[in-house]
């Protein structure tokens, strides 16, 4: 198949395919007429790359998976190098999740303090609730 058909079937652009060729992720084969020639295996490589990118992997992180497929393995993640990329990505994701949980806890703490202060439940150092004119006006109604 030619580059346009491959791009359509893979849901990408010809420009992207040329870029992948430059990076060595997609083989650059030429037919007798000089046009780029691709097959179903190339489509499989592209699908692997796209799936990993959808998961947040960078292009260089997809290389071991592509190389694994090109070596004839049935799946791109059946090689040790691919498994190592998975390990690194999982560690990265775990670190992000931990940071997000910390931020969430801080925001939840700020929210709780703000609600308590608004409702007059938080004591000032003097032992008195914070003064809010708007709250006092509503209490009179």
**pLDDT interval class at 119 (50, 70, 90):** confident
CATH number, domain containing residue 31: 1.10.1660.10
Is the pLDDT at 9 greater than 60? The verdict is yes
Give the global pTM. Answer: 0.73
Among the residues of the chain, which ranges form H helices?
3-10, 14-23, 40-54, 59-70, 80-118, 133-140
pLDDT on residue 68: 97
pLDDT on residue 69: 96
Angle in degrees, CA 127, 128, 132, rounded to 5: 150
Is the pLDDT at 127 greater than 80? The verdict is no
> pLDDT tens across 74-111, in order?
999 999 999 999 999 999 999 999 999 999 999 999 99
- As given in the structure block, the two tokens for residue 93 are 């994701």
Distance, CA of 20 to CA of 70 (rounded, Å): 14
pLDDT on residue 122: 53
> pLDDT tens across 14-53, in order?
999 999 999 999 998 998 898 999 999 999 999 999 999 9
Q: How many domains does the chain have?
A: 1
Question: Which residues form the domain of 18?
Answer: 3-124+132-140
Is the pLDDT at 133 greater than 80? The verdict is no
**Distances 113 to 12, 85, 107, 126 between C-alpha atoms, Å:** 49, 42, 10, 17
Interacting residues of 106 by C-beta distance below 8 A, sequence separation 6+: none
């Amino acid at each position: 198949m030619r580059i346009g058909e491959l791009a359509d079937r893979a849901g990408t652009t010809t420009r992207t395919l040329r870029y992948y060729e430059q990076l060595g992720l997609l083989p650059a084969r030429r037919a007798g007429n000089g046009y780029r020639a691709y097959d179903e295996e190339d489509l499989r490589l592209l699908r692997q790359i796209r799936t990993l990118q959808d998961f947040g992997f960078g292009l260089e992180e997809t290389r071991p998976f592509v190389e694994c497929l090109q070596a004839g393995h049935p799946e791109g993640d059946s090689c040790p190098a691919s498994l190592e990329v998975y390990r690194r990505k999982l560690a990265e994701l775990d670190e992000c999740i931990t940071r997000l949980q910390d931020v969430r806890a801080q925001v939840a703490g700020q929210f709780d303090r703000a609600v308590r202060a608004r409702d007059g439940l938080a004591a000032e150092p003097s032992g008195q609730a914070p003064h809010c004119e708007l709250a006092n006006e509503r209490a009179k109604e």
